Amino acid sequence: MTDVDYNFTGKVAFVTGATSGIGRATALAFARAGARVVVADINADGIEETARRIEQNGGTALPIRCDVTDEDDVRAALDQTIQTFGRLDVAFNNAGIEQPVAPLADISVDDWDRILAVDLRGVFLCMKHQIPLMSEHGGSIVNTSSGAGVKGFRGQSAYAAAKHGIIGLTKSAALDYAATGIRINAICPGIIDTEMMDRFSGGTPEGRQQVIDQEPIGRMGTPDEIAGTVLWLCSDPAAFIIGHALVVDGGQTT
């Protein structure tokens, strides 16, 4: 895919879930567009690999191990961002985990707590500590929701609750800060070809075809297609977009 020529030179982008799939593609895309990129993830080996790929392409990366469910980790990661780069302009709160397919009564309380902790609490904690760092000069935040943030999916009630929650969180926070120059939006990807989708589909040709069958476009989306949309949402041409949940899904939820 060819990049649109965005210019984030001088900006600092903080990306969570940056060692895999959508997050890694977006971290690399921000770096190609000139941003210095904080690569934040719970996966300690993965952050080094994403940072290595950024630096191999001539970019600047700061890998930080961070569990987004842990407030101390999130605060420390953002402190380190400011200590290293002096500012924060863009945040992509994207870390997430999937739900084992199960009807509601079969979801264990542990699974519910784990999914809500990573997928919803993590986004809250990140925004809570990012927003004050943007208050002087403004900034842009994009949170990763899902098609499961705009419609129900059988067997996915915990995941869908978290992803619907992200949209409520995003819209309300967007109103809190609209007048301050901080834009907050969400993105709702469809079926994207990542490690998460491989785990979900089983990664077999039949499993992959079953999820592709949900896609009117007839294929999965690529992580780069989501990355491109995130960069656009964070760019100046999107300056009037506030509190929007942008569906990028090949028609899946249409």
Binding ligand NAI (rule: CB under 6 A), the pick from 42, 107, 133, 174 is: 42
Helices and strands (H and E) in the chain: how many: 9, 7
Looking at the Cβ atoms of 138 and 216, the one nearer to ligand NAI is: 216
Considering the complex, what minimum distance in angstroms separates the CB of residue 19 from ligand NAI?
4
Binding mask 97-136 for ligand NAI (x = CB under 6 A): x--------------------x------------------
89: three-class secondary structure by DSSP: coil
Binding ligand NAI (rule: CB under 6 A), the pick from 8, 13, 20, 81 is: 20
Whole-Å CA distances, 51 to 90, 189, 213, 223, 241: 17, 24, 35, 17, 30
Q: Rule CB under 6 A: is residue 17 a binding residue for ligand NAI?
A: yes
AA letter at 231: L
Yes or no: say if 64 and 40 are a contact pair by the CB < 8 Å rule: yes
Applying CB under 6 A, which part among 11-19, 56-64, 80-88, 133-141 lies near ligand NAI?
A: 11-19
Yes or no: say if 81 and 62 are a contact pair by the CB < 8 Å rule: yes
Considering the complex, what minimum distance in angstroms separates the CB of residue 153 from ligand NAI?
10
Considering the complex, what minimum distance in angstroms separates the CB of residue 104 from ligand NAI?
19
Active site residues per annotation: 159
